[in-house]
Structures are given as C-alpha cells and as structure tokens.
Amino acid sequence: MSGVALALEVVVVFFLALFLLHRYGDFRKQHRMVLFATLLAWFLCFLIVFILPLDVSTTDNQVHLVAIKTVNHDNSSNSSVFPTQRVPKICQKPWSYIPDGILPVFWRVVYWTSQFLTWLLIPFMQSYARSGGFSISGKIKTALIENAIYYGTYLLIFCSLLIYVAVTPKLHLSWSGLRTIGITAANTWGLFLLVLLLGYGLVEIPRTYWRASCHGQLLAKTYFKAAKLMTEKADAEENLEDVMEDVRTVNETIKYNHPLRKCIDTILKKCSVEYQEKMGRNMDDYEDFDDKGNPYPSKKSLVKLHKQVIYAVQRHNRTQVQWQILLDKAFHLEDVAKNESSSTHKFVHSFPSAEPPGWISKYLYTPTVEWYWECVFRRWCYRVLAVVLCVFSAAVVWSECTFFSTQPVLSLFAVFIQLAERDYNYVYIEMACFVTIFFLCYCVYSTVFRIRVFNYYYLAPHHQTDAYSLQFSGMLFCRLTPPLCLNFLGVIHMDSTISHQTRQPTAYTSIMGSMQVLSFIANGFYIYYPMLIVLLCIATYFSLGTRCLNLLGFQQFVGENDLTSDLVDEGRELIRRGTTDTGPSFKLSSEWRERYSEQRERYGGRNRSAYSELKETDGSGTDTGRGEEDSHGHKTLLQNALSNN
C-alpha cells in the first residue's frame, strides 16, 4: 500500500478543485491560462491540506522506529547484567506510509510552485486579464506597469528583514537563512489575514447552519437579498445601456476602412448578440472614414471602453442569473412554509417542474419523503450540525490560546494526537489530523468564498465569476495555506520551533528551515498573535462588522432595524409580483426608494468615487450565459417572516 494513499489523494483533490472551478468559472468562454492558473493554485492548496496528515503519521512512525532501535540497542548492550530487560517490539508501518525521500521532494515542488503562482504569475495574469488592450504585447505592457509597484512593495519588505539579519551580531547571512527570511515574510503576511478569516468563520459557519434551520428568518433574509439584488440588477442594466450607447457612437464614427476598425470589432464581440445586431443594422460599410473630417477616438480611449464593456456585460449577466436563482429559492421557502401545515404529509410545489419525474422522484424521493425531509428532519439536522460545529469552534479557540503550553499540555488537539501516539494508532492519528485541519480550512476557505468587495472581488456560483476574482481567490489560497498548516502543526505540538520540544520534524516543516533566524517572529508573533481570534470571534458574534457597514450606508441584514424591515417588505412584494418586467425602467416603491436613497447619500457618498474607479478598472471576465427570468406570479403565504424567527 506504500504510495497508494498519496496517489489516491492526489486524484481526489484534483477532481475536487476541478468541480469547484466548474461551479464558479466558465470553461467555454474564459481564457485557458486563467482557468489553468486558478485550477493549479486551488489544487496545490487542497493537496497540502490532504497530504499533511499522512506526513504526520509517517513522522510518528519514524519516531517510533527510532525509539524501538534505541531501546533494543540499550538492552542488548546490558544483556549480561540485566538479561530480562530486553523486550522485543514490532514497529508496524501505517497503511499510508510514504517511503523516505518522497515527501521532502514533494513538499518542495508543491510549496515553491504555489509561491511562484501567488507572488509572480497570478498577479501578472490578473493585470493581463483585466487589461482592455487589443493585442498580447499591449496587455503584457499594461500588466508589467501595474505590477511594478506591487513587486516593489515585496522587495522593500524583504530588504527590511535582510537589513535586520545583517545588523544582528548573532545572525549570519547564508543561502538557507535568506530562504528562511523569504518564507517567514510570506507566512507572516498570510498569518495576518488567516487570523481575521478564521476568527470570522469559527462563529459565522455554525451560526449560518443554525439560521438555516429557522425557515422564517431564512425567508426574511431572502426577501432582504431580493430587494438589494433588484437595485443592483437595475443599476447593472442602466450601466450596460450607457456603455452600449458609447459603443454605438464609436461604431458609427469609425468606419470599415479605419485603422482602428479591428479594435471596434473586438469590442463588439464582447457585447451580447442583441446589441451586435442593432449596431450592425446602423452601420454603413461604404462610407469612408476621412470624408467628413470628424474627430476620432484614440486607441487609449478604446482600451478604456473595452474594459468597461467587459465589466458591464459580466455584471449584467451575473445579476440576471442571480435573480433567477434567488426567485427559485424564495419560491421553495414559501412552499416549505405552506406545506408545514399540510395534513396529507405530501410536499406540493407551487410551480411543478415541466420535465417528467425520474425514477428517483418516483421511488425514492417521493412527495411524502420530501415533506418529512423539508418540513421535519432538515431543520433538526442543521441544528445538530450547528451544535457540533460550535463544539469544534470552541476547541479551536481554546487550542489557539494554549498551544504554546507544553507542560502541561493544554491544547485539546495536541492531547488527542499524543494519546494516539502512545498506542501507535496511526489510523486514528490520520483521522484526527484530517478532521482538525479540514475544519480549519473550511472556516478559512469558505470565508474567502463569501467575501465581496463591491464588484471588484466576488466569487459567484453558476459560472458567473469573472477571471480577476478567480485568480484573486487562487492567490489568497496560496498565501493562506502555508501559515495555516504551520499553525495546525503548532496546535498539535508537531512544530518544534513553536512548541519548543525536541522531536523529529515533519517533512513539511523541514522545507521551512529554522524560524529561529527571526526569533522575535518565531517566539512572539507566531505564538501570541493567534490569540486575537478570541476578540474576532466576539466581534463576529455580536455582528460588529455588519453593524459598522450598515452605519456607513452598506445595507446589511441586521434584524431589528427600520431600514432592514423596509427592505424585507420590499423584497416580499418583489417576489409576490414575480418580476413581470425588470428592465431599466423598473421602479421600486417610492417611499422605500426615498428612504434608501437618503441613507445612501448620507453615509455612502465618500465611497462613491472609489466605487466608480473600481468599475472602470475592473472587468476581467468574459461574456457568459444569460439566464432568462420566469414570469410566474406568486402570492406569498408568510405574512410576516420576521415574526416567525
């Protein structure tokens, strides 16, 4: 079985990364290099997480083998005096044991490839994909200029650490020391962000599952999202109309024999088929560009227009698809509320599917089974899962605050691993390590998928994520995974640099070098900074960040709030009307619109200029499929969802 576990996990991780990329990206329309870089970044990060438990069990087996050889050697040398002390022992290798020499090479390839992606290749490709240039050389030039400051910042940080090592008498410069400085700088930056994301995820993930069991609150939040999404959807349509008007003007100005006509054709390809047909009908192919002497736009302005078109089309398509998904979710939650009082215990859909039911719906997931799942068991499963996740979160917080204590051992995960080491139960060691690091990664990675910075970075499912956001997520994963793994090894007392224990290091920590080159980071920052998770968990529990955003004009679901209640009521009305026509002329209720606009003008004015700048510089996605809206009318059965919380 040697090496089989490693090969099996490589295959499983690859398909997991491929599945996520298929869910968020678009294989048919996005650039192949963008998809490849994102897939490689996700694959390497997930691979580190899955293989690290095997590294831990292999290291424990090697420690066990060395201990047995030492005991047998000592007993053999003293056999003439104490012949009864020699006890034969057998060291059985774990089923997933990886032969010597494989893991160090494996970790070096994986680690340095991921670092090359996150610090060099992906930042360059982000600028390349976001550029509105019409040629490869133009995009490369733009990417190099944009990344000059980016790379200069990293060089400044590295030089600062290098000067610290040079002026410290106890430290001597060497290649291994320089390598460790670079690794330490990257891990320190990642640990800053790791604690923030982990502190949020430890509280928000259990709370999300608990709230999912409360249909009333979940439906109210869906109404809230519908009201906000409708505003964003109308704004996206208006923005698309404005950009298409600019394209139409340029298209009519630059005729077929103009040198910049190829640029216009490239821009038109990014527009939807509907706009292409309209602009094609208004074009006179037989009129020379220089007959009338009209002023023509520069190539620089066309590059800017190209970026705006990409951004506007991507945003419009995304809001269309999200609106349809939100409608389906709202209809389903209202059906659940309706069927809860059903005496027949059979789930009835307000809008049955037009497709004939398959054999699963006929024989397994029947209306009766669906009723018991949706109306009875589902909420209890979510609540049980939320309680289990709360226990895990509490254990993580406790261990993060006490993992530096080795006598006595206070970290709960270190206690579990050490108990398994005494019995040489390698299967238990691997399972305990895998569950622990999987939960940590789930808290961190799921937070990355939830983050939204305006429309600048936004991971949207159903193939609606633009290229810039895909690459940004891959870059974040590559920066967060190494400090996350080091933190995990410190929590289970497998990192001698942090736990200050003399033991054989894992193959993963061997590639990091000795962190003692920068002792103030190894002995201070790495140990005490994770304690801030307690403060972040408290802030997340009381929703301080959400309340601050709400005060600044970025409306959030806060529960007992007048504006939140108005948004919920408006969303309920939008779902009830079924969105018969939601074009740019769609008008929300005058009272809510007036209050919302006043609130946004008061608190959100300071962010408007920055938001406009982001809209101009964003737009790395390509044209994606457009979802069509249903025109179903639906009368809600829940008069006040907030009262059922």
Contact by Cβ (8 Å): 526, 191: yes
DSSP labels, 234-255? HHHHHHHHHHHHHHHHHHHHS-
SS (H, E, C) 380-429: HHHHHHHHHHHHHHHHHHHHHHHCCCECCECCHHHHHHHHHHHHCCHHHH
* Angle between helix 467-491 and 426-450 (nearest 10): 140
Query: What confidence score (pLDDT) does residue 361 get?
Result: 73
Termini Cα distance of the chain: 53
Asked whether the CA dihedral 400, 403, 404, 407 is positive or negative, the reply is positive
Cα separation, 531 vs 629, in Å, equals 48
Tell me which DSSP letter residue 134 carries. Answer: S
Q: How far is CA 366 from CA 217, 340, 356, in A?
A: 27, 16, 14
Burial annotation 477-487 (CB, 10 A radius, 16+ → b, else e)? bbbbbbbbbbb
State pLDDT tens for residues 134-147: 878 888 888 888 78
Cα separation, 568 vs 575, in Å, equals 11
Asked whether the CA dihedral 7, 12, 13, 14 is positive or negative, the reply is positive
State pLDDT tens for residues 518-564: 666 666 677 778 888 999 999 999 888 888 877 777 777 876 677 77
Q: For the chain, what is the mean pLDDT? A: 78
Q: Is 140 exposed, middle or buried (0-12, 13-18, 19+ CB in 10 A)?
A: middle
386 Cβ contact partners less than 8 Å away, ≥ 6 residues apart: 206, 207, 209, 210, 213
* Beta-bridge partner residues of 406: 409
Asked whether the CA dihedral 249, 250, 253, 257 is positive or negative, the reply is negative
Cα-flanking dihedrals φ and ψ of residue 63, to 5°? Answer: -65, -40
With tokens 């990344």, the residue in question is 147
State pLDDT tens for residues 358-371: 777 777 888 899 89
Asked whether the CA dihedral 149, 299, 310, 33 is positive or negative, the reply is negative
State pLDDT tens for residues 243-302: 999 998 888 888 777 888 888 888 888 888 888 877 765 455 445 545 455 577 888 888
Mean local confidence (pLDDT), 600-614: 39
Per-residue confidence band for 627, with pLDDT thresholds at 50, 70 and 90: very low
For 519, the 3-state DSSP assignment is: helix
Per-residue confidence band for 40, with pLDDT thresholds at 50, 70 and 90: very high
Burial annotation 179-189 (CB, 10 A radius, 16+ → b, else e)? ebbbbbbbbbe
Nearest to 188 by CA among 486, 391, 413, 406: 486
For 36, the 3-state DSSP assignment is: helix
84 Cβ contact partners less than 8 Å away, ≥ 6 residues apart: none
**Strand duo 457-458 + 452-453: pairing:** antiparallel
With tokens 């490839």, the residue in question is 113
- Percentage, residues of the chain above pLDDT 70: 76
What value, to the nearest 5°, has the Cα angle with vertex 221 and ends 217 and 225? Answer: 170
State pLDDT tens for residues 55-88: 888 887 776 665 556 655 555 555 444 444 444 4
For 343, the 3-state DSSP assignment is: coil
Tell me which DSSP letter residue 524 carries. Answer: I
Per-residue confidence band for 93, with pLDDT thresholds at 50, 70 and 90: confident
Q: Quick one: CA torsion of 223, 225, 226, 231, rounded to 10 degrees?
A: 140
Distance from chain centroid for Cα 318:
18
Beta carbons within 10 angstroms of residue 600's beta carbon? 16
Where does residue 254 fall: left (phi above 0), alpha (psi -120 to 50 degrees), or beta otherwise? beta
Whether the per-residue pLDDT at 419 is higher than 60: the answer is yes
Nearest to 106 by CA among 39, 60, 58: 58
What value, to the nearest 5°, has the Cα angle with vertex 238 and ends 236 and 243? Answer: 95
- For the chain, the structural domain boundaries read 1-130+174-213+358-557, 218-341+564-617
* Amino acid letter for position 497: T
Q: What Rg, from alpha-carbon coordinates, does the chain have?
A: 29
Cα-flanking dihedrals φ and ψ of residue 457, to 5°? Answer: -135, 120
20 Cβ contact partners less than 8 Å away, ≥ 6 residues apart: 42
Tokens of 397: 């917080």
Per-residue confidence band for 583, with pLDDT thresholds at 50, 70 and 90: very low
